[in-house]
């Protein structure tokens, strides 16, 4: 498959508008602005585009809800919070292909009747902030943003809003709270953001990669797009591959490429001839899979059947030198730190999981601790305000499911055999 999302990124000047235009950039926006918005929405539905932020919600359906709401103005929020550990797939778009995102946002805004867009960018991407701001300025100068874009009578204003280091602000309602200048704590749903979002108005939150697919759908049409990769959730997908592989990096592959192919065919297999032990397939919030579980198709439908989730498509590859208790402990430190504190099961539960894991890893684990971990995880799962707590519980449950013997060994031996 030829790259689309990562097209041209090897060109050192790829972020410049003239290079982007040379490669055909903004042609798809011009085409879109001459079409009927409802027809484009039809193409998005035919394409079968699903959100790339982690949940895989059908984009066409979300947009239909937002369009049906009679309130104006509507706001389009690009979720560039990219906080899920292991994930670095939006970064090449933001830093190397910012005009693709801008073009995708104008097309989306046109379809939705949204005249205002904000890119919620994580605070830890200072370079991307400067690059995006420069690209937005270039687009304004060319009349690709602002009033009466390309003389087609559509207005779209776009700006960058910088987050400040809170993972939870990637959750769409927390993102909206944050953009409104508040603590990033998730809101109750319903009402959904498509009806009552930022400043009380219909608000559409989509991931960077999702929005960047719009020019492609315009270019090849929904039907051709639907033929790429998995039938039930088609299209190109960016995978961030890290850990003990020969060639870590971001790979653009058809949705549904198997985990085995991602690791062994595309990322060059294991580093230093070591043996694969385990893979976290979709970012730290997704349950681990053992070496025997990697023949699954990486998409939103197949992964839950394989016992995990596609998440953000962040593949973390671990070899035999890695202690699974330590990984679990580190993951829980993260969840405890990032829990927003709004609901008790998540705030207290992640704290307890972290404490128990800490003592097991430190050699002070007690008999019954593994059962206690499972109990606490079960008391979090399904009982929290937002999916952050579910993620934490699923990680612990997954690790115990496949690597219980390693937890037992730590407790029985009173030490971690991996930390020499």
Partner 1 sequence: MFNETVISEINEIRGKYPDRRSALLPSLYIAQREFGWLSHEAMTCVAKTLNLPEADVRGTASFYSMFKNAPVGRHVIQICTNVSCMILGAEKLVDIVGAKYGVTSGGTSEDGRFSLVIMECIGACGTAPAMLVDTDFYENLTETNILEILDKYK
Contact with ligand FMN (CB under 6 A) among 203, 207, 257, 339: 207
How many residues at the interface with ligand FMN, by CB under 6 A? 22
The rounded distance, in Å, linking the Cα atoms of 308 and 282 is 8
Please pick, from the candidates 69, 84, 177, 336, the single residue that binds ligand FMN as defined by CB under 6 A. Answer: 84
Q: Is 389 in the site for ligand FMN (CB under 6 A)?
A: no
Q: Which two tokens stand for residue 181?
A: 């200048």
Judged by beta carbon, residue 79 or residue 350, the one nearer ligand FMN is 79
Token pair for residue 225?
């797009």
Q: How many residues does the chain have?
A: 420
Q: How far apart are CA 196 and CA 171, in angstroms?
A: 15
120 or 403, CB closer to ligand FMN? Answer: 120
Q: What is the DSSP letter of 192?
A: P
Query: What's the sign of the alpha-carbon dihedral 324, 313, 311, 102?
Result: positive
**To the nearest whole angstrom, how small is the minimum distance from the Cβ of residue 206 to ligand FMN?**
4
CA distances for 33 relative to 207, 218, 222, angstroms: 22, 11, 17
Report the nearest approach of partner 1 to the CB of residue 129 (Å). 9
82 is an interface residue for ligand FMN by CB under 6 A:
yes
Neighbour count for residue 168 (Cβ, 10 Å): 24
Given 158, 205, 262, 302, the residue binding ligand FMN (CB under 6 A): 205
Minimum CB distance to partner 1, residue 125 (Å) = 7
For residue 258, the cross-strand partners are 297
Please choose which of partner 1, ligand FMN, none residue 127 contacts, taking the beta carbon within 5 to 8 angstroms, the exact cut-off set by kind.
partner 1
Residue 38: CB minimum distance to partner 1, A: 27
Closer to partner 1 by Cβ: residue 47 or 324: 324
Is 210 near ligand FMN (CB under 6 A)? yes
| Alpha-carbon span 22 to 298, nearest angstrom | 33
Look at residue 54 and give the partner it binds from ligand FMN, partner 1, none, a contact being a CB closer than 5 to 8 Å depending on partner kind.
Answer: ligand FMN
Residue 161 interface partner, choices ligand FMN, partner 1, none, CB cut-off 5-8 Å depending on type? partner 1
274 vs 297: CA distance, rounded Å = 24
170 in contact with ligand FMN (CB under 6 A):
yes
Residue 292 region by backbone torsions, left for phi larger than 0, else alpha for psi between -120 and 50, else beta: alpha
Concatenated DSSP letters for 170-191? GSHHHHHHHHTTS---PPPSSS
Q: Assess 397 for contact with ligand FMN (CB under 6 A).
A: no
Shortest distance (Å) from residue 386 CB to ligand FMN: 5
Binding partner of residue 86 among ligand FMN, partner 1, none, CB under 5 to 8 Å per kind? partner 1
Does 277 bind ligand FMN (CB under 6 A)? Our answer is no
By CB under 6 A, residue 332 contacts ligand FMN: no
Pairing assessment for the beta strands 116-121 and 157-162 based on DSSP bridges: parallel
Question: Is the bond preceding residue 73 a cis peptide, omega within 30 degrees?
Answer: yes
Cα-Cα-Cα-Cα dihedral of 28, 34, 35, 40, to 10°? Answer: 30
The contact set with ligand FMN (CB under 6 A) reads 51-55, 57, 79, 81-84, 168, 170-172, 205-207, 210, 386-388
């Amino acid at each position: 498959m030829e790259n689309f999302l990562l097209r041209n990124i090897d060109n050192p000047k790829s972020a410049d508008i003239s290079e982007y235009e040379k490669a055909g950039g903004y042609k798809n926006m011009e085409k879109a602005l001459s079409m009927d918005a409802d027809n484009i929405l039809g193409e998005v539905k035919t394409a079968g585009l699903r959100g790339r932020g982690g949940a895989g919600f059908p984009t066409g359906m979300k947009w239909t809800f937002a369009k049906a709401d009679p309130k104006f103005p509507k706001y389009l929020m690009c979720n560039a919070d990219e906080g899920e550990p292991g994930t670095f797939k939006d970064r090449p778009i933001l830093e190397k292909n910012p005009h693709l995102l801008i073009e995708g946002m104008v097309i989306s805004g046109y379809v939705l009747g949204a005249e205002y867009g904000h890119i919620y960018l994580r605070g830890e991407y200072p370079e991307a902030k400067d690059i995006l701001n420069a690209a937005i300025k270039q687009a304004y100068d060319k009349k690709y943003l602002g009033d009466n874009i390309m003389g087609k009578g559509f207005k779209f204003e776009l700006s960058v809003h910088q987050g400040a280091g809170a993972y939870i602000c990637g959750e769409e309602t927390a993102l909206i709270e944050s953009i409104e200048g508040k603590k990033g704590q998730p809101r109750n749903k319903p009402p959904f953001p498509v009806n009552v979002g930022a400043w009380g108005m219909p608000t559409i939150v989509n991931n960077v990669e999702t929005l960047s697919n719009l020019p492609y759908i315009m270019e090849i049409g929904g039907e051709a797009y639907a033929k790429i990769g998995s039938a039930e959730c088609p299209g190109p997908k960016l995978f961030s591959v890290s850990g003990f592989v020969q060639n870590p990096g971001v790979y653009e592959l058809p949705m549904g490429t198997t985990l085995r192919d991602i690791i062994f065919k595309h990322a060059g297999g294991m580093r230093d001839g070591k043996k694969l032990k385990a893979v976290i397939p979709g970012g730290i919030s997704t349950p681990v899979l053992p070496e025997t579980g990697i023949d699954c198709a990486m998409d939103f439908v197949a992964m839950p059947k394989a016992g995990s989730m596609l998440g953000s498509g962040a593949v973390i590859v671990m070899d035999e030198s890695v202690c699974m208790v330590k990984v679990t402990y580190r993951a829980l430190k993260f969840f405890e730190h990032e829990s927003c504190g709004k609901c008790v099961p998540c705030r207290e539960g992640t704290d307890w999981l972290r404490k128990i894991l800490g003592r097991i890893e430190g050699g002070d684990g007690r008999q019954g601790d593994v059962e206690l971990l499972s109990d606490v995880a079960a008391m979090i799962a399904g009982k929290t305000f937002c999916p952050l707590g579910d993620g934490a519980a699923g990680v612990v449950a997954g690790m115990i499911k496949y690597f219980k013997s390693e937890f037992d060994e730590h407790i029985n031996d009173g030490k971690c055999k991996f930390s020499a």
